[in-house]
Structure 1
Amino acid sequence: MLILCASIVIPFSSVKAADPAKGKAIFQQNCASCHNVHKKLTGPALKDVESRWPDKKLLHQWIHNSAAVLATGDKYANDLFNEYNKTAMTAFPALTNEEIDDILEYVKVEGAKDPNAGKTAAPEAGGAQDKGSDNSLLFGIITLVLAVVALILMQINSNLNKLAGDKEGVPTPDPVPFYKNKAYIALVILVLFMVGGYFTIQGAIGLGRQKDYMPEQPIFYSHKVHAGINQINCLYCHAGAEKSKHAMIPSENICMNCHKAIKEYSGPELFTAEGKKVDGTAEIAKLYDYVGWDPEAGKYTKPGRPIEWTKIHNLPDHVYFNHSQHTVAGKQQCQTCHGAITEMDEVHQFADLSMGWCINCHRTTKVQFADNNYYSIFEKLHQDIKDKKIDSVTVEMVGGTECQKCHY
């Protein structure tokens, strides 16, 4: 399919510095199904690829259309073509030179890393969550303690005033105990009402939200291993992300495309979020049991049954969300909504997916407006850009905050 996304690397423009983070996202979407930085897959390893090409301009041309470069008779390109059994690399005419430069920068950064580094260390149980925890409970306890201390000090002050008055012969009424003092009682009721109201509102707002939700799945499936280390393109498994409303949970047949051959796990050690070690080979055996595959006989020997995956990301029924619109028209990467999915052994919900979260994204995200037929009807905005009245277009400007866009 591909024979050198390795070509996906070229010098970066002097006007705009290359961005390895953007390059990583583009690489994973377009190149990772056939290429790895450190090892051969369908195509060659990409480490030091830039030095292997005599002309960076030629490298750009190769990525955009490898067949055209082969037709010129270039020796390196034709040798590469023959080395990989004359399998042509997929053309990427839509990639801009800047995007190719971003990929090149990512390959440089990734190529400088040790591919075996950090593979055996077990994560500390709850470590990732501890870093993100807040101190709200601690502050609440401190505030309560200080309030009690203030009440005690006020009561002591009242008693001292009475003692001072008695000593000077000034009659002073006995202080009213704080638990009988109407002002104190009213203040406590008001505070309790405010605190109770706050938590009630927060609870109501949070109904149905499940940020950080991480259910235990029937098979331990590591996105870090598949999409991260092995750099399998997200669209290989979630084919609907560019074509339909739903990204789709891949069928067992997709898994078996690889696991008919891959019977044992030999990657870095796996651990659950609690720090419990996972036997990767045993998890592959679970897959075989679900699909009825006998790895020794090399064939299906019993009827299969569906894997009951637990859905993680859920939206209310009255909310409309279309994956294809965001990934194709909006050109958003998976990580925008799903977080660092290539670093997750167990997937959790990265964002709260609230209305406010979506609206804020639409207000700040710039759409791929130029050369995008999806937005051709917005003639006024196109004219405003030509007249330099605006320099970019956000989702909000093309109706991204209108109620009917997301609600039935």
Structure 2
Amino acid sequence: MISWRKHYKKGLIAIGLLLSTSASIYGQDGDPKNGEKLFKANCTACHALDKQVVGPALKGIVERVKTEAGLDKDWLHKWIRNNKELRASGDKYANEIFEKFNKTEMQVFPNLTDKDIDDILAYTTNPPVAEPAPAATDAASAAATTAAPADKTTTNIVIISLLAIAALLVWILIKLRQLVKLGQSEDLAGLNESRVKSFSEIYAKYHYIGKGLLAILAILATYGIWNWIMWIGVYKGYKPEQPIYFSHKIHAGENKIDCQLCHSSAKYGKVSEIPSMNVCMNCHRAISEYNGKYLETGKDKAFYDGEIKKIYEHTGWDPEKQQYTGKNTSPVEWTRIHNMPDFVYFNHSQHVIAGEKAIINSFNKKNPDNKIDVVCKACHGKIDTMNVVQMANDFTMGWCIECHRTTEVDMNNGYNKEYFKNLHEKLKKQYPQDGGKITVDAIGGIECGKCHY
């Protein structure tokens, strides 16, 4: 009897241990924290934990595969490492999944070790609690803290202004009192006799001063009109609101997306086109919400998610079904910021390809404390720091000419070195103090016909 009870107790302990470790058998024997890093690096382009993106939601995928097909982690290892090979072997469940998700090819991952896959599966089974993103209230409180000294300064200015007005009023009252006393004295009659009583008398007395003032006013008016005319069409600092909010700081700054991924014709074309919505969908087909840490002051995650939804509305994309519905709204009417007049010829490729090194070097020499690493920034400013893009320079003819006069031609370029060989030797003799440096104006960069034809 005692022996039977011993074996019974041992059996219960064994069953308990088996049950307690069964979760580990199905995906929790890896490191969820490391799995999170691997998941974000390899899987987030097509998958999310809690919803379908390009592929299915992966939270609880180990248990789901076991429930649906009676398969274990070994099958998942084969699927993740090389799903094509698994499908080619005739695996029924692998081919069912392939058909279910519109025959979308999944990337193979032969570089992932068994431990890496175990860590990813552990993350999908038991994801660690994510640290909350900085809330909009935090940004607002930070802004309020920053604004507090400014508010205090404003209050001080108002108080000082009121005191100054009060002092001025007291001074006026004192002067009025003095005038009243003066009116009661005999000196007032003599003072009135000596005063000028008409404008003609004033003009006759001070006509030289009057003519001088009129001449000065005429000169100032002429200068003002000339200055106003010269700045017609110059919109430095112009930053209009767009129909869909797009932060270059998030895309080009925080996420390091290359300019030419969206503006593909800027390098090899005459103009840099406005990207179509299909370019946006290359990424936002899989990115339906904003999970970045950066939040612009006054904006929260819900704001950015709402802007992504606008992209879906204009393209007719259904994020739940992961397909186009064919029911899209009207085209997005973007407001153009940089727009050369029709009488000006400007070729992007000429500057971005042929002049890239020369422009960057020239800009960095003139701005040692504000250097650039991409040629685009020389004209458009540091776009990767702008939440709302603005016109960073004047884009006047004088601005272009000044650049052509100070930018050296890249003589290490094989074509330039051979084509301008004789000119280079001539300039060395003509301007020995400059070492014969060739700037863009020396090769016709300020000829009228280069830009106006």
TM-score strictly above 0.5: yes
1:269 aligns with 2:295: yes
Query: What is the deviation of 1:191?
Result: 2.5
Structure showing greater radius of gyration is: 2
Query: What is the deviation of 1:383?
Result: 3.8
1:363 aligns with 2:405: yes
| Bigger shift: residues 294-303 or 379-388 | 379-388
1:401 aligns with 2:446: yes
The code of the aligned residue for 2:383 comes to I
Task: Return the match for 1:234 from 229, 234, 259.
Answer: 259
Query: Residue 425 of structure 2 contacts residue 436 of structure 2 at CA under 8 Å; is this kept in 1?
Result: no
Alpha-carbon distance in structure 1 between the residues aligned to 2:244 and 2:353: 31
- 1:61-107 CA-to-partner distances (Å, cap 9, x unmatched) read xxxxxxxxxxxxxxxxxxxxx8599xxxxxxxxxxxxxxxxxxxxxx
Map of 1:278-293 to 2, 5 A cutoff?
A: 279-293=303-317
Q: Residue 219 of structure 1 aligns with which residue?
A: 244
Q: Residue 311 of structure 1 aligns with which residue?
A: 336
Task: Return the match for 2:322 from 298, 301, 315.
Answer: 298
The code of the aligned residue for 2:412 comes to A
Query: What is the deviation of 1:183?
Result: 2.9
- 1:282-325 CA-to-partner distances (Å, cap 9, x unmatched) read 11011111111111111111343421110001222111111000
Task: Return the match for 1:252 from 240, 253, 277.
Answer: 277
- 1:91-128 CA-to-partner distances (Å, cap 9, x unmatched) read xxxxxxxxxxxxxxxxxxxxxxxxx99x9746979x9x
Unaligned runs of 5+ in 1: 1-38, 43-81, 86-115, 131-165, 167-171
Calculate the TM-score normalised by the size of structure 1.
0.55
1:347 aligns with 2:371: no
SS of 1:207's equivalent? Answer: coil
Alpha-carbon distance in structure 2 between the residues aligned to 1:302 and 1:188: 71
Alpha-carbon distance in structure 2 between the residues aligned to 1:386 and 1:191: 49
Query: Residue 277 of structure 2 contacts residue 315 of structure 2 at CA under 8 Å; is this kept in 1?
Result: yes
- 1:108-160 CA-to-partner distances (Å, cap 9, x unmatched) read xxxxxxxx99x9746979x9xx9xxxxxxxxxxxxxxxxxxxxxxxxxxxxxx
CA distance 1:306–1:374, shift in 2 (3 Å): farther
Q: Residue 12 of structure 2 aligns with which residue?
A: none
Calculate the TM-score normalised by the size of structure 2.
0.50
Give RMSD over aligned pairs. Answer: 3.7
Query: What is the deviation of 1:327?
Result: 0.3
CA distance 1:335–1:256, shift in 2 (3 Å): same
Structure 1's consecutive aligned runs of 4 or more residues displaced over 4 angstroms after TM superposition are: 39-42, 82-85, 119-125, 172-179, 275-278, 384-389
CA distance 1:348–1:277, shift in 2 (3 Å): farther
Q: Residue 113 of structure 1 aligns with which residue?
A: none
SS of 1:326's equivalent? Answer: helix
- 1:3-43 CA-to-partner distances (Å, cap 9, x unmatched) read xxxxxxxxxxxxxxxxxxxxxxxxxxxxxxxxxxxx9699x
Task: Return the match for 2:212 from 165, 183, 187.
Answer: 187
Q: Residue 320 of structure 1 aligns with which residue?
A: 345
Alpha-carbon distance in structure 1 between the residues aligned to 2:318 and 2:348: 36
Query: Residue 366 of structure 1 contacts residue 394 of structure 1 at CA under 8 Å; is this kept in 2?
Result: yes
